[in-house]
Amino acid sequence: MVRKLCILAVAVAVCVGSASALPTPVVKWSQTYSPPNGNLYYLNGNIDEGAVLAGQIDYGARQIAVDGTQLVAVQIPNTTASKSVVRVGDYYFVAGDDGQGVGRLDATGASAWDLSTWAGYVNPGATAPESICTDGTLIYANDDVNRNRIHAYSVSNSASSFTLTEEWSVDLPAGGRVRGLSYDAASGYLYMHNGGNSAADTSLYAINVDTQAVSLMGTHTEGARTYQALRYGDALLVAGQSDMVTVYAMLNDTTIFPAALDQLGVPGLIGDIYGMAVVPGADAATTNFDTLFIASSGGRLTAVELVPEPATLSLLGLGALALVRRRRTR
């Protein structure tokens, strides 16, 4: 049994297969991490063993469970910023800022997260990556020099050092600046927005990591900077300085329905939204609902339980849009 989302508009009917119903947000908790001026940044969908990995400016790396428990907090010395964290194999990789590059910590055994295992920074090609995600093998990164360029790096590890080797890079045709980027394992695509510096840049992109084909998915106007695009089933979540999460229906892996389904205002958020991540099937002791993590300004992290609505007419759309859920057997 699978759910289908059918978007009905004036003289238009589009059916979108979905792995999960489009949900209503329920805030579970919201808290600020010290230092209060140190923003948590590009979550980029980065999770490890059911917990979110986050980098924080003027601090380092954190790992947060779905119930709000801080599992790990590592202050990385001699750093101006930590902006995102991923796990690849036996290591955590931490992206810095201001041309620092990427550093590394152990992820297994008694030495996991121990600063004595720190190696870095590595800044391949002087590209200044600060926003990273992974498919479990390659590290995908933005470029703070050529800001519309996306890189894929393979990793070679030794006991006390590592190297990043560029496997490919692509430029987004409309220019602009990418801040957050995320990888969707189900489709094999990276998702991002080029409006990281200006509201004038409005392009949403998908990159096929196997072929490096770049697809213009549609446009999103934030009214300010856009930081994150994150795929969730057959929806694309987009957020930035509007303090809202905008939800688009995915018509396929590389195209969004042009009109937003909804704009979700989440109580407890402070200002700009810098990053998002979804932990699937989180908080299983009480529910099997997914949990959306949202990083906003002031070092605040908010956990939102994504609770499916009844399988009836849902007024998530704007104007003539409506959302109807059906079930069918394949």
Structure tokens, 200: 């004038």
List pLDDT tens digits, range 279-299. Answer: 987 554 555 688 999 999 888
Give the C-alpha distances (Å, rounded to integers) separating 277 from 1, 65, 80, 84, 130.
26, 12, 24, 12, 17
Mean pLDDT estimate for the chain: 84
Q: What is the pLDDT of residues 14-40, one digit of tens each?
A: 333 333 445 567 888 999 887 656 888
pLDDT tens readout for residues 180-225: 999 999 999 999 999 999 999 999 999 999 999 999 999 999 989 9
What pTM value is reported for the model?
A: 0.87
Cβ distance 100 to 121 under 8 Å?
yes
Average pLDDT of the residues in 72-80:
81
Residue 322 or 65, more confident: 65
- Mapped onto helix, strand or coil, the DSSP state of residue 127 is coil
Find how far residue 275's CA is from the centre of its chain: 6
| Number of neighbours of residue 122 by Cβ within 10 angstroms | 18
Task: Find where tokens 């409506």 sit.
Answer: 322
- Kindly state the percentage of the chain with pLDDT values over 90: 66
Selected from 3.40.190.10, 3.30.360.10, 3.40.190.150, 2.130.10.10, the CATH number assigned to the domain covering 22-308 reads: 2.130.10.10
Write down the domain spans for the chain: 22-308
Give the integer Cα–Cα distance in Å for 287 and 64.
19
Task: Return the higher-pLDDT residue of 318 and 306.
Answer: 306
